[in-house]
């Protein structure tokens, strides 16, 4: 693992702002360092997402030293320092050194004790590569990156070796906070690291206790795993370490479910799904990622070997509808918002419709393209085809149409409205919906060009009484 830092990361506004915070704290006689993820990323030569500061100053002192602050995590002693002239985007999280003491609920420390010892603060952190401190003032003076690191946990060695290792005794640390098991997996996937064998053994052992963590926090960790660009590795690790069977038992049943070899030369439903996950880009929408994970979740329950023909044939009749029902249960269990649930279910529900496009009426195609966030449907179809037979003709066609066609073509100003029907002598009632739909279909087909055309067509098909 290369360990270096491109100079631009040390000149960014975020870095300079955090440096200013450390300088102010140190000038006032306190210890202050960069801590956690940003140190790891600086050593890896990756641009840190944000710079967190850890200090011996207590939260009230931090608040008194800076003009603009917000107590975001009062219980944990975390103060947001908003830089001069900046806004929340240029805010630095400043956390007082602490010792988290005992955990009895498997989620949160019972009481937090502030400390003036940086070593204590590091020992309460989760994994060694996240447990280093960096002294930016020392670095300013010496230009020696390595010499400016405070490493009480051998984080630097693990970074070089590419190892995710719990700080301290793994079983104890995971027992304290079960979410750490998911974080270990996420960082292993994100960084392409192996999980140390004792750490992995502790996770496997404690996996059934993951239910002590709230569904929302589990969901958010999984969404991060799915959208950080290493979703396949993350889900393979979750599976290997017995976490997946606890969190998403439905997904585990995809293992060993064979598929017709002509359409799916890649293998079973699990392998196919992992190939989709492998193609998810960092920063992709979480709804798309969940759609990819769950698009074939109805296959295990609908697998059938049809022996009625000359050759036996594998079928998954109704897998889409069954999949939507299973996914609904999963998404409710993980407390997804209604909006995200709707989109993920729509992705699953429509994923097989691309195959019908050559037979679709023009109006049906336009209605299909009108689905909210159609772009995600397109992307899922691309992921799906690229992860089996590789035929992308329909995807290409629909993508070109979607991008080239103005939206008004698909949702034009309607020639015939309810008012037009009433004026033409139709009585308002439940029939209106299908009459209006027929008129809109004809318009989308290009079969009518005016209100008069539309009413003529309606008179032909529907009587006024
Ligand atoms: P990212 O780049 O994703 O922000 P990060 O390492 O900064 O990664 P955060 O979730 O922002 O991760 O947490 C900041 C730091 O706080 C971590 O580096 C780690 O030292 C510590 N930490 C976070 N969550 C836990 C936890 N559940 N248990 C122990 N330490 C934790
Ligand atoms: Mg962070």
Cβ of 179 below 6 Å from ligand 1: yes
Rounded to whole angstroms, the Cα distance separating 75 from 64 reads: 18
**1 belongs to a structural domain:** no
Residue that terminates a domain, selected from 117, 142, 167: 167
Residue 337 shares a structural domain with residue 455: no
User: Which of 36, 118, 212 has most ligand 1 atoms within 8 Å of its beta carbon, as the pocket-test mutant?
Assistant: 36
**285 belongs to a structural domain:** yes
**200 belongs to a structural domain:** no
Residue 286 shares a structural domain with residue 159: no
99 phi-psi bin (left φ>0, alpha ψ -120 to 50, beta other): beta
- Predicted TM-score (pTM) of this structure: 0.94
Residue 120 shares a structural domain with residue 41: yes
Residue that terminates a domain, selected from 130, 151, 167: 167
Ligand 1 center to 130 CA (angstroms):
7
Per-residue pLDDT of the chain (465 residues; tens, 9 = 90+): 445 567 677 778 889 999 999 999 999 999 999 999 999 999 999 999 999 999 999 999 999 999 999 999 878 889 999 987 666 667 999 999 999 888 888 888 888 899 999 999 999 999 999 999 999 999 999 999 999 999 999 999 999 999 999 999 999 999 999 999 999 999 999 999 999 999 999 999 999 999 999 999 999 999 999 999 999 999 999 999 999 999 999 999 999 999 999 989 999 999 999 999 999 999 999 999 999 999 999 999 999 999 999 999 999 999 999 999 999 999 999 999 999 999 999 999 999 999 999 999 999 999 999 999 999 999 999 999 999 999 999 999 999 999 999 989 999 999 999 999 999 999 999 999 999 999 999 999 999 999 999 999 999 999 987
Ligand 2 center to 349 CA (angstroms):
36
Cβ of 130 below 6 Å from ligand 1: yes
Residue 352 shares a structural domain with residue 447: no
User: Which of 130, 174, 199, 230 has most ligand 1 atoms within 8 Å of its beta carbon, as the pocket-test mutant?
Assistant: 130
Residue 344 shares a structural domain with residue 452: no
Domain span at 103: 13-167
Residue 46 shares a structural domain with residue 149: yes
Long-range contact pairs involving 261-264 (C-beta distance under 8 Å, separation at least 24)? 262/389, 263/388, 263/389, 264/388, 264/389
**Count of domains observed in the chain:** 3
**342 belongs to a structural domain:** yes
**33 belongs to a structural domain:** yes
Residue 392 shares a structural domain with residue 423: no
Ligand 1 center to 142 CA (angstroms):
28
**314 belongs to a structural domain:** yes
**345 belongs to a structural domain:** yes
Q: Which residue has the tokens 């429509």?
A: 350
Query: Tell me, what CATH number does 124's domain have?
Result: 3.30.460.10
Radius of gyration of the chain (CA): 28
Residue 398 shares a structural domain with residue 310: yes
Cβ of 109 below 6 Å from ligand 1: no
Residue 41 CA, closest ligand 1 atom number: 2
Residue 80 shares a structural domain with residue 145: yes
Residue 447 shares a structural domain with residue 372: no
**129 belongs to a structural domain:** yes
Residue that terminates a domain, selected from 123, 143, 167: 167
Residue 145 shares a structural domain with residue 50: yes
Residue 370 shares a structural domain with residue 454: no
Q: For residue 369, what are its two tokens?
A: 């393209």
């Amino acid at each position: 693992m290369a360990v270096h830092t491109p100079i631009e990361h040390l000149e960014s506004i975020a870095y300079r702002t955090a440096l200013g915070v450390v300088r102010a704290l140190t000038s006032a006689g306190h210890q202050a360092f960069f801590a956690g993820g940003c140190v790891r990323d600086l050593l890896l030569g990756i641009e840190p997402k944000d710079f967190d500061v850890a200090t011996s100053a207590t939260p009230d002192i931090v608040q008194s030293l800076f003009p603009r602050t917000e107590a975001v995590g009062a219980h944990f002693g975390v103060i947001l320092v908003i830089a001069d002239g900046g806004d929340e985007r240029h805010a630095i999280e400043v956390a007082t050194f602490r010792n988290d003491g005992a955990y009895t609920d498997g989620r949160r420390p019972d009481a937090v004790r502030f400390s003036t010892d940086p070593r204590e603060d590091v020992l309460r952190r989760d994994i060694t590569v996240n447990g280093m401190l960096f002294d930016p003032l020392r670095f300013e003076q010496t230009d020696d990156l390595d010499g400016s690191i405070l490493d009480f946990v051998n984080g630097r060695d693990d970074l070089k070796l590419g190892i995710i290792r719990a700080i301290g005794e793994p079983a104890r640390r995971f027992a304290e906070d079960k979410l750490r098991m998911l974080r270990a997996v996420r960082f292993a996937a994100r960084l392409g690291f192996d999980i140390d064998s004792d750490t992995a053994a502790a996770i496997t052992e404690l996996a059934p206790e993951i239910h002590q963590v709230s569904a929302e926090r589990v969901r958010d960790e999984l969404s991060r795993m799915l959208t950080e660009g290493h979703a396949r590795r993350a889900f393979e690790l979750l599976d290997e370490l017995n976490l997946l069977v606890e969190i998403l038992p439905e997904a585990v049943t995809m293992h060993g479910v064979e598929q017709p070899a002509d359409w799916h030369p890649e293998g079973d439903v699990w392998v196919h799904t992992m190939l989709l996950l492998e193609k998810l880009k960092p920063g992709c929408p979480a709804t798309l990622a969940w759609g990819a994970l769950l698009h074939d979740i109805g296959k295990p329950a609908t697998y059938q070997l049809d022996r009625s023909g000359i050759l036996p044939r594998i079928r998954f009749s109704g897998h889409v509808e069954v999949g939507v029902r299973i996914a609904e249960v999963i998404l409710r269990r993980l407390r997804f918002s209604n909006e995200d649930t709707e989109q993920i279910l729509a992705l699953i529900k429509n994923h097989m419709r691309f195959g019908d496009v050559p037979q679709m009426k023009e109006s049906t195609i336009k209605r299909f393209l009108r689905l909210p966030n159609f772009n995600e449907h397109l992307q899922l179809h691309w992921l799906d085809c690229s992860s089996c037979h590789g035929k992308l003709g329909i995807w290409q066609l629909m993508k070109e149409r979607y991008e080239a066609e103005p939206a008004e073509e698909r949702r034009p100003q309607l020639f015939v409205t309810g008012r037009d029907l009433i004026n033409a002598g139709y009585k308002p009632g439940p029939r209106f919906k299908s009459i209006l739909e027929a008129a809109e279909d004809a318009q989308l087909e290009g079969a009518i060009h005016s209100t008069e055309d539309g009413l003529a067509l309606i008179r032909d098909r529907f009587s006024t009484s």
